[in-house]
Structure 1
């Protein structure tokens, strides 16, 4: 399944990329699965997307959690929590 990935703010800076189109292996069905798949790339991917790290996720521009199912052609975004000031 092919999906679009988007990365924002400090996540984008850590990964040195703002977006990517990726073909996922079979068995990846949720945003949490996508996160684990990307962590497996190691290096900055493992660090920026680490479990326990404060991270927001969106599915087709809607705030979502790790249990949200993904579909072919969808957009999954990762970004840090936003604070006001």
Structure 2
């Protein structure tokens, strides 16, 4: 199953990419994708919480990713 993963903000710096074409084996939940990405990019462990959007809609960890989905990794945003 092929998906596109987009990284924003500090996550771009942590993985060294802003876009990845990623191949998942079989059906995967958002939680499983997060775990897979943390194994491949150990620097993501430095961010304890970040939002996930699939096809421009925020989703929870139980959401099942489908072939062709676009997954965005969105770190917390601070401002003042």
Q: Is TM > 0.5 for Structure 1 vs Structure 2? A: yes
Q: Which runs of 4+ in 1 moved over 2 A?
A: none
User: By percentage of residues, which structure has more strand?
Assistant: 2
Aligned match of 1:24: 24
Q: How many residues align?
A: 80
Alignment of 1:1-85 (within 5 A): 1-26=1-26, 28-41=27-40, 45-48=41-44, 50=45, 53-85=48-80
Q: What are the ranges of 5 or more consecutive residues in structure 1 without an aligned counterpart?
A: none
Q: TM-score, normalised by structure 2?
A: 0.87
State the superposition RMSD in angstroms. 1.8
Q: CA deviation at 1:62?
A: 0.8
1:47: Cα distance to partner?
2.8
Q: Any stretches of 5+ residues in structure 2 without a counterpart?
A: none
| Inter-CA distance 10–52: structure 2 relative to 1 (3 Å threshold) | closer
